[in-house]
Amino acid sequence: MSLFKEHKYLVIRNAISVELANFAFNYFLMKRDATEWMHKNNYVSEYTPGFGTWKDKQVPNTFSCYGDTFMETLMMKVLPVMKKHTDLDVIPTYSYTRAYKKGDVLKRHKDRPSCEISTTLHLGGNPWSIYIDPTGSNNVIDEHKGIHKPNAPKGIKVDLNVGDMLVYSGCELEHWREAFEGDVCVQTFLHYNNIDGQFARNNTFDKRPMLGIPK
C-alpha cells in the first residue's frame, strides 16, 4: 500500500525542478503585475475571466488565478508523478494559483469534490507552512469566520522547499495556514480526481470542455 493510501497525505520532494519552479514563480508575478496594470488602465475589466483576480473569497485582496494555461500544463506534467506516488489512476480537474502577501491567512477548511486529491506545489518566494489534520475529523464551525471547535486537533506542520509538493485528500482532511509573515509566496494547487472514485465521471476538467480555460 502506498503512503498516500495509508495516511491520505504525503510530501513529494523535488516534484518539479527548482529551475522550472523559478520560471513558474517569475511568470506568475509578471502575470500579477501585468493584470494589475491592465485593470487600472481599462485594458480588461476586473471581471474578465482568465486574467486573475483580487476578489478571492478565501484569501481576499490577494492575486489568484483559476485555470491558468501554464499552470494547467504543469498539472499535466506532474500527472505521472501523481500516479506513481499515490498508486491511483488520477485525472486532472483544475489548477488554482495564488501570490500570497504578508498577513494572509488560510482558514481551516476542507475542499470541494474537484479537489478530491489535492496538491500544494511551492513555486517560490518566502516559505509558508501548511497544517493538515490527518484524523479526517470535522472541526470547522464557520469557515469564513475562521471558527472551529476549541478541541480541534492542532494538525501536522508541513514545510515545503521550492519544487516540493504536498499531496492530500482535500475533501477528507482539514488544512489551513497561520498568518503569513513573509513578503511573497507563490503556490499552485493542482487538483485531481480518482478515476475510480465517486466524483470523476461527472467532473472531468472541473466540468469545463478542456483544460486551460476559465470556469
List the one residue out of 79, 99, 69 whose CA is nearest residue 188: 99
What pLDDT score does 157 carry?
97
Q: What's the CATH number of domain 3-198, 2.40.180.10, 3.40.50.10680, 2.60.120.620, 3.60.21.10?
A: 2.60.120.620
What element of type H or E holds 82? helix 79-86
Question: Three-state SS for 138?
Answer: coil
Q: Give yes or no for residue 46 having a pLDDT over 90.
A: no
Q: In this predicted model, what pLDDT tens digit does every residue of 188-210 receive, in sequence order?
A: 999 999 999 989 988 899 999 99
Backbone angles phi, psi at 187, to 5 degrees: -135, 145
The ranges assigned to domains in the chain are 3-198
What pLDDT score does 74 carry?
98
Please check whether residue 97 is in contact with residue 187, taking contact to mean a CB–CB distance below 8 angstroms. yes
Question: Three-state SS for 30?
Answer: helix
Task: Compute the average pLDDT of residues 60-89.
Answer: 97
Q: What is the mean pLDDT of the chain?
A: 94
